[in-house]
Amino acid sequence: MADVHTREVRSYNMSRIKNKNTALEMCVRKYLHALGFRYRVHVKELAGRPDIVLPKYNTVLFINGCFWHGHNNCQLFVVPKTDTKKWLDKINKNIENDRNALALLTAEGWKVVVVWECTLKPKLRETTLAGLARLIKENYR
């Protein structure tokens, strides 16, 4: 099946997708801040430029979109029917970059937490965020 948009429209739509300060990221940041956590965002000096860095807790958070980071067995990760090879190459490169960043950060002594887009959907959001806060605090002890 052909794409429902022209190449130009599809290109424009894709260019509007943000990679920083996304709604999901802002949701997590707002929740953590309300609980008293203080953090830095997008620290370039760290591998993978984590979305949220909690220096006091020696923890970094990545808020990953299920499509862009190839979340296995997730309904939000659907391989496009057009230009499949290009998309799979891009997604696989993202997965490899994620693996490398995780390995480097872990080797440096950081605790790495990945929060997936699907776990921040409205039905799961409160449970996910509460679990995230608990996990960060438990790691601190």
pLDDT tens for each residue of 105-125: 999 999 999 999 999 999 999
Mean pLDDT of all residues belonging to the chain: 90
Burial track 23-55 (b if 16+ CB lie within 10 A, e otherwise): ebbebbbebbeeeebebeeebeebbbbbbbbbe
pLDDT reported for residue 16: 65
Strand 111-116 to 59-64 pairing: parallel
Nearby residues of 134 by Cβ (< 8 Å), 6 or more positions away: none
User: Would you kindly state where each structural domain of the chain is located, as residue ranges?
Assistant: 19-140
The single-letter DSSP state of residue 54 is: E
Find the radius of gyration of the CA atoms of the chain. 17
Residue from 25, 116, 20 nearest 77 by CA: 116
Q: What is the 3-state secondary structure (H, E, C) of 7-37?
A: HHHHHHHHHCCCCCCCHHHHHHHHHHHHCCC
- pLDDT top residue among 8 and 101: 101
Q: Which CATH number is 19-140 given? A: 3.40.960.10
This prediction's pTM: 0.85
Band of pLDDT at residue 80, cut at 50, 70 and 90:
confident
pLDDT at 1 over 60: no
Neighbours of 132 (CB within 10 A): 21
Distance CA 121, CA 55 (A): 27
Model pLDDT for residues 12-54, shown as the tens digit of each residue: 766 666 677 788 999 999 999 999 999 999 999 999 999 999 9
Please, which residues bridge with residue 53 across strands?
40, 60
Structure-block tokens of residue 89? 């190459």
